[in-house]
Amino acid sequence: MAKKTKKVTKKPKKKVTKKPKKQVKKKKVKKKHVKRGTKKVKSPSVELYFEKEVKDVEKKWSHKPIVAAILNFFAWGVGFMYIGRMIYGLLWLFAGVLVILPVIRMQRFLPAEMMAYLTIGYWTISILLALDAYFQAKEILHWHD
């Protein structure tokens, strides 16, 4: 006698749908941005300390571009030193001394026409250096903003 075999059929699984959880609205916390040059830290007290430090540096850096320009106009390089570019300023100060001293020493031996050219050249360089100091100071101020 032959045995009957039962067909085994798999029952389809019921799809279980999960109810969506209530989404809790997260409060947006405004992060205080720390200025460039400071470290980002998690501790609020340390973060406030660094922000205060940056503000103090900005207050100390109150160099005005117009003052740098005026200083550089009258004494080559002094305006650069005023804005913190010491080596650049010292080089120009040294160059100014090398130009002025020989001219002053030889003033009575040089013809008037030559003195006029030297004077025009000196004041032209002074104006250009004043403009350079002005724009460099403006750029440094822009970095601190």
Q: Is the pLDDT of residue 2 over 90?
A: no
Question: Over the stretch 10-50, which tens digit does the pLDDT of each residue have?
Answer: 666 666 666 666 666 666 655 555 555 555 545 555 555 55
Question: Over the stretch 115-131, which tens digit does the pLDDT of each residue have?
Answer: 999 999 999 999 999 99
Q: Are 87 and 96 in contact (CB under 8 A)?
A: no
Per-residue pLDDT band for 95 (boundaries 50, 70, 90) equals very high
Summarize the confidence of residues 57-70 as an average pLDDT.
76
Per-residue pLDDT band for 99 (boundaries 50, 70, 90) equals confident
* pLDDT the model gives residue 77: 94
Give the CA angle between residues 135, 77, 144 to the nearest 5°.
40
Q: Tokens at residue 70, please?
A: 């005026």
92 is in which domain, residue-wise?
A: 62-144
Summarize the confidence of residues 94-103 as an average pLDDT.
90
Same domain, 54 and 33: yes
* pLDDT the model gives residue 46: 56
Q: Are 67 and 116 in contact (CB under 8 A)?
A: no
Same domain, 54 and 77: no
Stated pTM of the model:
0.55
Same domain, 72 and 56: no
In the predicted model, what is the mean pLDDT of the chain?
Answer: 77
Q: Is the pLDDT of residue 89 over 90?
A: yes
DSSP letter assigned to residue 64: -
Lowest mean pLDDT, pick from 2-11, 29-38, 77-86: 29-38
Same domain, 107 and 45: no
Same domain, 43 and 112: no
Helix (H, G, I), strand (E, B) or coil at 137: helix
Lowest mean pLDDT, pick from 14-18, 29-33, 90-94, 137-141: 29-33
Q: Into how many domains does the chain fold? A: 2
- Asked, for residue 70, whether it belongs to a domain, the answer is yes
- Asked, for residue 19, whether it belongs to a domain, the answer is no
